[in-house]
Amino acid sequence: MMELLLPPLTVALIAAPGCLFLALATGWLLDHQPTERMLARITLVLHVALGLILGYLAFALWRSDSDHLLVDRGRWFTLGDFGIPIAFLIDRVSLTMAALTVGLAGIVASFSARYMHRDPGFFRFFLLLNLFTFGALVLFLSASLDLLFGGWELVGLSSVLLVGFFQYRRDPLRNAVRVFAAYRLADLQIVIATVLAHHWFGGAKWSDMLSGTGSEAAWIVVLLLVGACGKSAQGPFFGWLARAMEGPTPSSAVFYGAISVHAGAYLLLRVQPLIAASEVATALVIGAGLATALVATVAQRTRPDAKTSLAYAAQTQVGLIFVEIGLGWTGLALLHIVGHAMLRTMQFLRAPSLLHDHHKLHAAAGGQLRPADPLFALLPMGARYWLYRFGMAAGHYDAFMDRFVVAPVMRIAKMLAVFERGPRLAEPLPKPRTTPVLERAVS
């Protein structure tokens, strides 16, 4: 009985938010939009149902003799011997992440029903939240890198669309494009890793990949590490998380405090045996995590606004999670992810009433509340100034990227215009213009 119910329930768990998204979007295109209350209720009921299914899956896993359950639904498509398997893996890691997703997305949906009340983008927000839940469930439950990538992209897309949620201001739009650029360049590495996994290991299922050894496995894991850094704002992709704070606070909570920001860590947890087998990969994971944690913790202390400060704090913790994975402490890393996601969601959701909370705390402490940075107070004044400047500039990351990546690309793009301007063309050359995203960098 349990084996019979497992496949349809797993598919239902993943497909339900996607179907709701499609139904809502189709209805909207046909001029049928539910009321705020109706939409919030549907979403809440969906998350309760998903929670019940997850409970069943957890029970099935507990009752089974194996440490994992595999739900194989054949192939999405087949061309010769190539195809993308529709297979889902239920084990303690994937189930934990799926439970986090359903739980926290449900809490955020419930919170947003009031927080976003009468916002012109209420419907859009819930639509994207459902798309995100669908993408995250695909990401965490997939048994192969191919399918994981599909979910990974959907999470990225919904994240970017929510960063640009407040459409009347320019900054969110600029920042959303920056975030998207970081995502796409990082995702490129996952595409290449998937192709290499098919080429070298004959498939991209976790079981295929973990059978890999030697330099091939090391190459793949390094590429995946870059992809993971992109999603988790670590190492070379350090700069985007603070920009992503332009979105609505509930989406910041569920994306950058809880689920999306940990997706990279989840990917590394999945391939941890490959990381452990390669000294280079181990060093890179630890190095990326440690460097990000150090820079982010300094930057966090200099931020005047609550959300950006929380974003850097989240990066610090994710950096430490990377270090734990690099050291092979996978159990601790998973625990750290769960604890951090919950705490950070709560902090983000409380961020709009931070001053109120602070005043209450201040009064409760009898006016004796002190800054909680005794370590920095021990440093000499010169070092503190230097660290302050370093933190304010977020490790000079943006300046570096603008000067050595964005500006050269723009120069090349303008130079290439030479090939389009023939001598017989009557139209004068347009004045060189920069894109809205990049104009600040060039100036």
Residues that bind other proteins (CB under 8 A): 25, 29, 76-80, 82, 84, 135, 146, 149-151, 153-154, 157, 160, 164, 167-168, 170, 173, 176-177, 180-181, 184-185, 187-188, 191-192, 194-196, 198-199, 409-410, 412-414, 416-417, 419-422, 424-427, 432-438
Q: How far is the CB of 251 from other proteins (least distance, A)?
A: 16
Q: Which CB atom, from 83 or from 287, has the smaller least distance to other proteins? A: 83
Q: How far apart are CA 425 and CA 274, in angstroms?
A: 57
Q: Which CB atom, from 246 or from 324, has the smaller least distance to other proteins? A: 246
CA pseudo-torsion sign 403, 297, 329, 345: negative
Q: How far is the CB of 36 from other proteins (least distance, A)?
A: 17
- Angstrom distances, CA of residue 410 to CA of 33, 419, 432, 437, 439: 42, 16, 10, 11, 10
Q: Which two tokens stand for residue 110?
A: 């419930």
Q: How far is the CB of 297 from other proteins (least distance, A)?
A: 30
**Number of helices (H), then strands (E), in the chain:** 21, 2
Q: Which CB atom, from 29 or from 378, has the smaller least distance to other proteins? A: 29
Q: How far is the CB of 97 from other proteins (least distance, A)?
A: 19
Length of the chain: 443
Q: How far is the CB of 141 from other proteins (least distance, A)?
A: 15
Closest CA to 265 of 329, 206, 351: 329
Q: Which CB atom, from 62 or from 419, has the smaller least distance to other proteins? A: 419
Q: Which CB atom, from 10 or from 316, has the smaller least distance to other proteins? A: 10
Q: Which CB atom, from 230 or from 395, has the smaller least distance to other proteins? A: 230
Q: How far is the CB of 1 from other proteins (least distance, A)?
A: 30
Q: Which CB atom, from 199 or from 396, has the smaller least distance to other proteins? A: 199
Q: Which long-range contacts (CB under 8 A, 24 or more apart) does 71-79 make?
A: 71/6, 71/7, 71/10, 71/11, 71/143, 72/143, 73/7, 73/11, 76/147
Q: Which CB atom, from 146 or from 324, has the smaller least distance to other proteins? A: 146
**Burial class for 29, CB neighbours closer than 10 Å (0-12, 13-18, 19+):** exposed
Residue keyed to tokens 């079981």? 207
CA pseudo-torsion sign 177, 178, 180, 184: positive
Q: How far apart are CA 188 and CA 409, in angstroms?
A: 18
* CA distance between the termini of the chain: 66
Q: How far is the CB of 391 from other proteins (least distance, A)?
A: 29
Q: How far is the CB of 442 from other proteins (least distance, A)?
A: 11
Q: How far is the CB of 148 from other proteins (least distance, A)?
A: 11
Q: How far is the CB of 39 from other proteins (least distance, A)?
A: 16
**Burial class for 169, CB neighbours closer than 10 Å (0-12, 13-18, 19+):** exposed
Closest CA to 229 of 172, 289, 282, 270: 289
Q: Which CB atom, from 197 or from 333, has the smaller least distance to other proteins? A: 197
Q: Which CB atom, from 33 or from 302, has the smaller least distance to other proteins? A: 33
Do 54 and 95 contact (CB within 8 A), yes or no? yes
Q: Which CB atom, from 195 or from 346, has the smaller least distance to other proteins? A: 195
Q: How far is the CB of 167 from other proteins (least distance, A)?
A: 4
Do 289 and 326 contact (CB within 8 A), yes or no? yes
- Angstrom distances, CA of residue 280 to CA of 283, 356, 367: 5, 48, 51
